[in-house]
Amino acid sequence: MKRQHTLIVMVEDHPGVLNRVVSLLRRRSFNIDSITVGHSEQTGVSRMTIVVRGTDADIEQAGKQLYKLMEVLKVVDLTDQPVIAHEMMIVKVAAKAQQRQEVLLIAQMFNARVLDASPNTIMIEATGPVEQIESLLQMLRAFGIRELARTGAIAMSKGSGIITSKGLTGADQYAGSAAAD
């Protein structure tokens, strides 16, 4: 069964690493839904969050292929773990005076912030679980989306377990909180 997997890939922060990772996934025809890169808690190590679609076997293969890149230090599949996967979106919605109230109400429902407004538009920023961002977007489509920027998800496992360039450690301490989730 194909489904979305969220991979955390810890890589050495060298020029061209993103190119290597993306090129590898493209070449082996893995479908990337989103990819984000940024610094991690360790200097010299970047953290990528890659949302990729495939069967469990596909994703295992993707992970093994990623490990063949010299710069890849650790690959963790967070898919079946309790995680927070958040995305940020900035969207410019068409809203004249008559619609403004309604748009604001929707934004409020999703805890979204208004960043800017003009006679014809409202700019909104939202951060949250990917599904929530999708729902908000769905609601706003009715008014007309003028401009849209999304970051793609970044993810972190819940509890005291931590993912470093050495892998997921201390995950056992997390036992129990999954139930509370």
Partner 1 sequence: MCWGPQPLKSGSKSKEIKHRVNGLPAILGGRFTSRDNGTVAEKEQTMATTEATLPKLSNGLNGHIEEIAAVELTGAEIVCKALEAEGVDIVFGYPGGAVIPLYDALPRAGFHHVLTRFEQWAALAADGYARATGKVGVCMATSGPGATNLVTGLANAQLDSVPVVAITGQVVQPLIGKDAFQECDITGITLPVTKHNYLVTRIQDIAPTIKEAFYLAKSGRPGPVLVDIPKSLFVSRMIYKPGKLRDRRGYQPTTSPNMRQVKLAAEAMNKAEKPIFMAGHGILLSGAEESFAALVEKTGIPVAFTLLGQGSYPESQPLALGLMGMHGHREVNKALDEADLLVNIGARFDDRATGKVSGFAPNAKIVHVDIDPAEIGKNVETKVPVVGDAKEVLDLLVDLVDERRHDEWISWIESQRNFVLEAALEDRPETPEPYTIIKAIAEATRGKAIYATDVGQHQMWAAQHLGLDHPNNWLTSGGLGTMGYGLPAAVGAKIGCPDKEVWAICGDGGFQMSLNELATCVQEGIDVKIAVLNNGYLGMVRQWQDLFHGKNYSEVKINGPDFVKLAEAYGVTGIRVETDAELLPAIQRARETPGTVVVEFIIEPEANVWPIVPQGASNSEMLHQYEDK
> Which residue has tokens 């805890």?
111
Contact criterion met (CB below 8 Å) for 11 and 21 = yes
| Residue closer to partner 1, measured from CB, 19 or 98 | 19
Q: How far apart are CA 77 and CA 85, in angstroms?
A: 13
Q: How many Cβ atoms are within 10 Å of 117's Cβ, its own excluded?
A: 16
Q: Pick from 31, 23, 28: which is nearest to 3 by CA?
A: 31
Contact track, partner 1, 3-22, x by CB under 8 A: --------xx---x--xx--
Total binding residues for partner 1 by CB under 8 A? Answer: 21
φ and ψ at residue 31, rounded to 5 degrees: -95, 110
Residues within window 25-44 making contact with partner 1, judged by CB under 8 A: 27
Residues within window 67-96 making contact with partner 1, judged by CB under 8 A: 67-73
Min dist CB 5 to partner 1, Å, is 17
| Residue closer to partner 1, measured from CB, 40 or 121 | 40
| Residue closer to partner 1, measured from CB, 20 or 86 | 20
